[in-house]
């Protein structure tokens, strides 16, 4: 609210907008949404908690829709999505912007299940305008777009997403562009070691070092490349073959003829393949994040049951891993043991996803019949 007050008082220099929680580090969509919240609630906490309670229900409904469309979980396992004490706190008590960004991300994903790539990118960009963590889904989303659409459709869809960012940031871009871009899209921030839930066991001098950050970045990119090549593009012959097909398509259409066909799809992707690629890509980003604060749990909690049921693990182990993840996120303050256990559980889930057979990516005559719920 203090950030909103300075914005409403006419401040457009991002470097001058500060509050009790520090300087403003989120894109402009954050300001607009919380300005609306201030208008609706009068800046009072209790009405805002009611509003975020409604947001939680809306988000949960969208997530249920995604799960039902993919049919990966048995019906009873959907109840796991309602049982997180920490997520309830993040939404209804803490009122974090992560909640709004997560809800918009899930809305974008639900849109993609209907092959509405252009609209999905618009909603995705709106989510990014609330908080940049949504960009963890971006590599997976780009790969899916290249598989589903021709190059012209992909370029126009990306252009639409970029236009949303320019439109929302326009008041700041025309006034203090450098301050806005460097403040709202700062990729080099170093978080406080005390609040880290995942790497608390790493000594603080190592935690804040550039070498540690670069190592995690290399690991992140490497895991994405390996999963893209061996899992997400396996049926096309690997990531290299997909990129080669994109190159051939681009050359054959140069200079970009057919831009009129933006948003259309050349292939229809399997719903399960879309969700799996998006959730796993984000999960890889979570594993490689230098610091996960408590509110960051909302970035991937709603995908945890899906990821567990995509592994070949027996159901009792899946449930045990879910409970263990929740336990680690409810240890406050985090310690060496809770953070070490959390990292080990993440790696175990990732291993299960690696050894699981990849689903056929396309909806065509070769697509296998929809499998029964496990």
Residue 330 to residue 342: CA distance in whole angstroms? 11
pTM: 0.93
CB 373 within 8 A of CB 78: no
Q: What is the pLDDT of residue 3?
A: 92
The DSSP code sequence of 238-290 is: -HHHHHHHHHHHHHHHTTTTTGGGTT--SSPBPHHHHHHHHHHHHHHHHHT-S
- 3-class DSSP state for residue 295? helix
Give whole-number Cα distances, 62 to 55, 129, 177, 224, 284, in Å. 11, 20, 35, 26, 23
Residue 61 to residue 203: CA distance in whole angstroms? 41
Residue 374 to residue 369: CA distance in whole angstroms? 15
Residue 354 to residue 139: CA distance in whole angstroms? 18
Residue 136 to residue 144: CA distance in whole angstroms? 14
- In the structure encoding, which two tokens stand for residue 72, read together? 């990966």
Residue 104: HSE in the Cβ half-sphere, 13 Å Cα cutoff:
24
CB 360 within 8 A of CB 267: no
Query: Where are any strands of DSSP class E within the chain?
Result: 18-19, 22-23
- In the structure encoding, which two tokens stand for residue 52, read together? 């975020």
Q: What is the mean pLDDT of each run of 10 residues along the chain (374 residues)?
A: 92 91 92 96 95 98 98 96 96 95 98 96 98 96 93 90 97 94 86 92 94 96 97 92 81 55 67 98 97 96 98 98 98 96 98 96 65 45
């Amino acid at each position: 609210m203090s950030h909103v007050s300075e914005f409403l008082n006419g401040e457009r220099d991002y470097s001058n907008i500060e509050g009790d929680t520090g300087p403003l580090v989120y894109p402009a969509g954050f300001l607009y949404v919380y300005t609306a919240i201030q208008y609706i609630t009068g800046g009072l906490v209790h009405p805002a908690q009611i509003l975020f309670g409604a947001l939680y229900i809306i988000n949960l409904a969208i997530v249920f829709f995604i799960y039902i469309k993919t049919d990966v979980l048995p019906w009873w396992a959907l109840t796991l999505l309602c049982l997180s004490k920490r997520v309830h706190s993040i939404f209804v008590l803490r009122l974090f912007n992560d909640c709004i960004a997560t809800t918009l991300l899930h809305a974008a994903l639900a849109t993609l299940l209907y092959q509405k790539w252009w609209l999905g990118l618009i909603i995705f960009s709106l989510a990014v305008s609330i908080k940049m963590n949504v960009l963890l889904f971006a590599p997976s989303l780009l790969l899916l777009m290249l598989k589903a659409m021709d190059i012209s459709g992909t370029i126009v869809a990306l252009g639409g997403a970029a236009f949303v960012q320019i439109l929302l940031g326009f008041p700041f871009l025309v006034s203090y562009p450098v301050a806005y871009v460097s403040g709202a899209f700062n990729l080099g921030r170093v978080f406080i070691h005390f609040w880290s839930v995942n790497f608390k066991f790493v000594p603080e001098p190592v935690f804040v070092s550039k070498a540690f950050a670069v190592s995690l970045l290399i690991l992140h990119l490497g895991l994405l490349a390996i999963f893209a090549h061996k899992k997400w593009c396996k049926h096309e012959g690997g990531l290299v073959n997909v990129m080669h097909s994109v190159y051939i398509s681009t050359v054959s259409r140069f200079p970009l003829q057919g831009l009129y066909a933006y948003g259309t799809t050349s292939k229809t992707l399997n719903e399960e393949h879309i969700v799996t690629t998006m959730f796993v890509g984000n999960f890889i980003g979570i594993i490689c994040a230098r610091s996960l604060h408590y509110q960051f749990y909302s970035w991937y909690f709603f995908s945890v049951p899906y990821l567990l049921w995509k592994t070949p693990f027996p159901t009792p182990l899946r449930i045990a891993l879910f409970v263990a993840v929740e336990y680690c996120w409810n240890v406050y303050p985090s310690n060496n043991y809770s953070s070490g256990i959390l990292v080990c559980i993440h790696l175990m889930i990732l291993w299960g996803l690696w050894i699981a057979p990849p689903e056929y990516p396309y909806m065509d005559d070769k697509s296998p019949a929809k499998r029964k719920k496990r």
